[in-house]
A = this chain, B = another copy of it.
């Protein structure tokens, strides 16, 4: 084996069993890598392999080198929510599995993995092409309802970073699965994130983040995807459910396309704080009443809420089915799309089906919204005359 390939279960340098504290072992491996790779041009990083097994993590891993790949053999998801609500006496397995890490920090930290390197200017700290692949991070204790959650964080990037990858991973029962601050071109694809408070948070600022082909299953009280101050975010081909909530604060030129979205609550996609020129196309929105409760949003908030300008909403299906007695405020007509503020938002070729009289609503401050074959006349409430409407016949 090349000396850049590590197996947590066989590496001779570990002073503790990886089953007892895989975090400590990985930190020791990183120290070993750094002791061997000492100049600017001798730092290719390494791969750390986590074979199938049940591992505890007591100590936070701190990654401060580029190109590290941490890789297992399976995301190992098992629904702990179903387990915790079921008699399990005769179950064969009651834990997640494959390359399965139980996040049980006793070091005072909240993160299983912290990616951070100090240095000024920020390009010194900037970390490149770190990869998390194909293992399971399990917060152990339920985060549902998330408040008060268990406060555990799966992976947190707190330095500027470029081209990082999170692929094929499993996350369960964490308050925060993935937080990435200062992301440039991160690739978050083919993951299974479920029963977490928050799935993906892009904090600080980000550009051209790509979130594709994931299952994001959770977020009863948090967010499926949260981004702030982002440019060019792409969210495509994901299945996002039971509490789909994609919230963008001051995010521009995002593309949210070809996703399958399902929620028990309003605010499935919210474009806030002047988020503008975003595209929401070819998504399937399903809203039902069921598991979980929330008072965060009432049914006037909209499944899609737009507070920004020049956004585009085209070619989406909205399937709304909630018993009338479960609408808040009581007796209200539920809002499918609320254009809350902004100029020149464009809606075309959307299809709304609902068990109740559902609405596309334009607030009074909005200007020049176009609503083209996206609502029947009965489905349309405009509190401004500054708009154009072609009703679905």
Contact = CB atoms under 8 A, between A and B. Distances in A.
A277 to B, nearest CB: 4
Interface string A356-390: 00000000000000101100000000000000101
A258 B98 CA distance: 33
Interface string A126-158: 001101000000000000000000000000000
Nearest to A277: B319
Interface of A: 1-2, 4-5, 7, 9-10, 40-47, 51-54, 65-67, 69, 71, 73-79, 82, 86, 88, 90-100, 117, 119, 123-124, 128-129, 131, 162-163, 165, 167, 170, 185, 187, 189-190, 192, 194, 208, 210, 212-213, 215, 217, 232, 234, 236-237, 239, 241, 253-255, 257-260, 262, 277-279, 281-284, 286, 310, 312, 314-317, 319, 344, 346, 348-349, 351, 353, 370, 372-373, 388, 390, 392-393
Sorted nearest first, the 7 A-B pairs with minimum C-beta distance are: A67-B97, A388-B393, A2-B51, A4-B52, A255-B284, A47-B73, A279-B317
30 contacts: A2-B51, A40-B92, A43-B97, A45-B74, A47-B73, A47-B74, A67-B76, A67-B93, A67-B98, A67-B100, A74-B129, A77-B163, A78-B129, A78-B162, A82-B123, A185-B215, A187-B192, A208-B262, A253-B286, A278-B317, A310-B319, A310-B351, A312-B351, A314-B349, A315-B348, A344-B353, A346-B392, A370-B392, A370-B393, A372-B392
A4 B317 contact: no
A137 B4 CA distance: 18
Contact of A348 (B75, B88, B234, B373): B373
Nearest to A233: B260
B370 A372 contact: no
B282 A281 contact: yes
Contact of A45 (B52, B254, B316): B52
A129 B75 contact: yes
Nearest to A281: B282
A166 to B, nearest CB: 12
Nearest to A253: B286
A5 B215 contact: no
A255 B282 CA distance: 9
Contact of A170 (B1, B129, B277): B129
B97 A129 contact: yes
B5 A51 contact: yes
Contacts of A281: 258, 281-282, 315, 317
A346 B66 CA distance: 47
A98 B190 contact: no
A344 B372 CA distance: 17
Contacts of A192: 163, 185, 187
A88 B123 CA distance: 9
